[in-house]
Structure 1
């Protein structure tokens, strides 16, 4: 194939360029027209690229062996909030940590932090968000074109730290195609696509703005974007703290003190397309300053000043080979730092710093299908390596001394198609993890510090069956054994952790954490009735968690005493126990009848997870049962809907230092419009709408939040957004 022919095919494949930026355009890469480059499963296949579905259509994924949640640009733009957790909290099986407006990390089926990997275009997002709930993910929804949440066997592609799931944010910072419509320009002429994203919100006087530019000519495509947002202290129902200050004073003025946010960033990248593939690089900068709400944090004006610089690379090559179909390359280098500032002891300045320097790379080789006589076998193998160095110096001592962690892993995905209706998958991964750090002997002599070099070899294996059934149904059954190596802070922590209000003590003798999971699902993606039902059971061997001992501390181990007499920090020791997680999710959408050129219908959802230790005690910070539903009307351009989500009271709480959470009702409504404009109009496409959130102005406490007794979620909010594509 000549370069000119390659460019021409690329242009003919880019007919979805009129769709929102990042929305399934990865599928337009000509080098692999039917293989999804960013799929959860490296050998996953989809139909050819097509335009996004009408707004409000429930997306059910039937080509994966376990539950996968996908959000389009429309879904993201209609969601309020400044974080991935805000965008995803309304999805079945997903909640958020809700620690601060700039720090809301996704929680999947009750699993969080080191068990949920957050990444951008297949490379880890960087930062230290998994280390503390007050640490934000350095990624703004304004810069995202799609989100994919993956659970089950497909997570083996990214590592044992994704034992609970993967949240992958996608965008075009490394272009995968030229930004042109078919017939608009010749294959050699330059073409350009510009998008603006704007929104305002009432609950926090929020303003957000982004601009994205894509340019292509000849063998090259370039992308640039810039974004920023600012909010004030958000409004809440004028209720007092559940745990009031000593004077018992309620929140004055119905505003959550110390809850404002400022953030912004930019990115620039480009790709070179050659006869049998492409290679691209992007540089990204993100900065944020956000306040930490809460009684003590408000008094000390606690805030976090974050910055990150990241360089990522991505490539693909399809050799002239009868054995290899494609080779994929991913890489990233991250330099992250944030300062935690507060006015303590008469000093208003940096109290602690967290820094993370991280490198990650991955190479995948997909082999051509091999006919076995009884079926077609497709195999993909990969190798992944990473290095991370963490430091956390502070005015009152470090949470941990410098930690180095290195890993190398090999993985394989094998998919056997017995027929067009029956597919089997076998996936495996083996890692070598080395963690180097030191920690004092806090219980014998805190002055003595010992160095440790821990080596782990996590091994994981999964098996899945995918079966197409009559009536458009697809059934799935998966079983997996996954092992996770403990992370450095779990091994070597020995200091104050302000986010959780604990004095953390690591355990350098922790062993591998392992989980056996069985998941069964039934899905229907076509027709007027679409639904997805999933049931899962996971048994953990050596589940790692912060065990509250009942003692309290001030600032060092010597101050810890029983019965809460030592200070305001709860002593927490990283420990291991067997645990069981049992639950399920259900969502559906039924188009009842045509109406006024569109369709009227109803949708609903349910999710539940129950988690206990081997002795029957409750695992802490588990989301409650949630049940919701509503009605909608939509056509190809308009969407109007209203729904309510009821979260039941959470009474299954840990026996120490966790309180019950009352139930609440979250009412939402929206009306939005999306359309392609005729040729010659001022813009190519418009997307606009008004979304109302928590319209009952309910006092909502998130049961998984460490600060639920002090910090309610925002009150009634109206969000207006307007996007243009030129």
Structure 2
């Protein structure tokens, strides 16, 4: 033991002597500080938090949310069919990954079965937030995998100048035709937004021939308006979504040509109020969503197998309190109502 101790001491001494034999350079002191809240919302203080917007988002947009995010590190997709594709975050999917639209749930039935399509159109997204880690607790305890929040401007938070955009594309394989447009504007304290998207795609062609029943057809339009003033804004929007998509044929039973038809009518209300008449509160935010969704599964043309009906109501209130010493934060509540039923040959869910 003494031998090793002396050797170690000698080595350290030699190292220190070599260091001090070199020229010593003094650098200026650098102080780094940051606010956990800053000018952003509470979600930004709990990493990891990723936002896709601008050109990066435009370069990734695809027919589904799953395909749009599939090449981001840590995210894949279940890719059941060209239109039924949900994101999988760090190996977790289904109910463990919540998909939101402007902070309110998509309110469809995609978490029940992998062949169900989402009702959110990626081409109309202004930005997509990917939230993982502790910040997911702001939206409940089920989203252990993460959250996907698709942001649109359907309820304007400010009065924009009159303008719009038009986009059209033509794909080869699958043979897809896409037409999308949006316009927005306002006058005085009133603002409006309108968007429309239509997709129509035939079945894929592979090296061995056509992949039967991989077609899809979607129609989506939304209209929103809001009143904007110095105290904040308050607005409402209505959206309609129609989709028809096939399920790739079962090679063990080539006579089956199953396809799914879904329809959604959705109403959203959103508002933000600066300096509300509540002691200790800086801002108050309100989000309300109502959804009437019907989904029919066909085993073949003209033969309805199972019908899903989902009527859902979701409300979220957030209050950002004034700074308490060194602490910033928000308090809030979320509550909702859901009436889900499935009727037919494959109705494996009880009415809830």
Does TM-score exceed 0.5, indicating one fold? Answer: yes
Give the CA deviation at 1:81. Answer: 3.1
Give the CA deviation at 1:298. Answer: 5.5
> Contact conserved, 1:302 with 1:342, CA < 8 A, in 2?
yes
Deviations 1:231-260 (A, max 9, x none): 111233x2xxxxxxxxxxxx4x2x321101
Note closer, same or farther for the CA distance 1:304–1:73 as it changes in structure 2 (3 Å cut). Answer: farther
> Contact conserved, 1:81 with 1:101, CA < 8 A, in 2?
no
Picking from 324, 327, 330, the partner of 2:284 is: 327
Picking from 344, 358, 368, the partner of 2:322 is: 368
RMSD: 1.8
Q: Is 1:318 aligned with 2:267? A: no
Aligned residues between the structures: 313
Deviations 1:317-352 (A, max 9, x none): 112667211011011001111110123xxx841111
Q: Which position in structure 1 is the counterpart of 2:200?
A: 230
Picking from 381, 400, 412, the partner of 2:331 is: 381
> Contact conserved, 1:257 with 1:298, CA < 8 A, in 2?
no
Give the CA deviation at 1:75. Answer: 2.7
Write the distance in 2 (CA, Å) between the matches of 1:199 and 1:154: 37
After the TM superposition, which residues 353-432 of structure 1 pair with which residues of structure 2 at under 5 Å, given as runs?
353-371=307-325, 376-394=326-344, 396=345, 398-403=347-352
> Contact conserved, 2:61 with 2:122, CA < 8 A, in 1?
no
Write the distance in 2 (CA, Å) between the matches of 1:80 and 1:276: 35
> Contact conserved, 2:100 with 2:147, CA < 8 A, in 1?
yes
Deviations 1:385-434 (A, max 9, x none): 0111111111x25212201xxxxxxxxxxxxxxxxxxxxxxxxxxxxxxx
Write the distance in 2 (CA, Å) between the matches of 1:167 and 1:176: 21
Write the distance in 2 (CA, Å) between the matches of 1:385 and 1:298: 46
Q: Is 1:215 aligned with 2:185? A: yes
Deviations 1:631-650 (A, max 9, x none): xxxxxxxxxxxxxxxxxxxx
After the TM superposition, which residues 540-579 of structure 1 pair with which residues of structure 2 at under 5 Å, given as runs?
none
5+ residue gaps, structure 2:
1-37
Length-normalised TM-score, structure 2: 0.85
Q: Which position in structure 2 is the counterpart of 1:308?
A: 264
Q: Which position in structure 2 is the counterpart of 1:15?
A: none
Deviations 1:115-135 (A, max 9, x none): 110010000011100110000
Write the distance in 2 (CA, Å) between the matches of 1:320 and 1:293: 53
Note closer, same or farther for the CA distance 1:202–1:79 as it changes in structure 2 (3 Å cut). Answer: farther
Deviations 1:62-119 (A, max 9, x none): xx42212221142333236310001000001101110011100011111111111001
Write the distance in 2 (CA, Å) between the matches of 1:78 and 1:202: 18
Write the distance in 2 (CA, Å) between the matches of 1:359 and 1:383: 14
Q: Is 1:275 aligned with 2:224? A: no
Alignment partner of 1:114: what SS?
helix
Write the distance in 1 (CA, Å) between the matches of 2:178 and 2:247: 20
Alignment partner of 1:87: what SS?
helix
> Contact conserved, 1:123 with 1:360, CA < 8 A, in 2?
yes
- Greater Cα radius of gyration, structure 1 or 2: 2
Length-normalised TM-score, structure 1: 0.42
After the TM superposition, which residues 150-165 of structure 1 pair with which residues of structure 2 at under 5 Å, given as runs?
150-165=131-146
Note closer, same or farther for the CA distance 1:73–1:137 as it changes in structure 2 (3 Å cut). Answer: farther
Write the distance in 1 (CA, Å) between the matches of 2:165 and 2:153: 12
Q: By percentage of residues, which structure has more helix?
A: 2
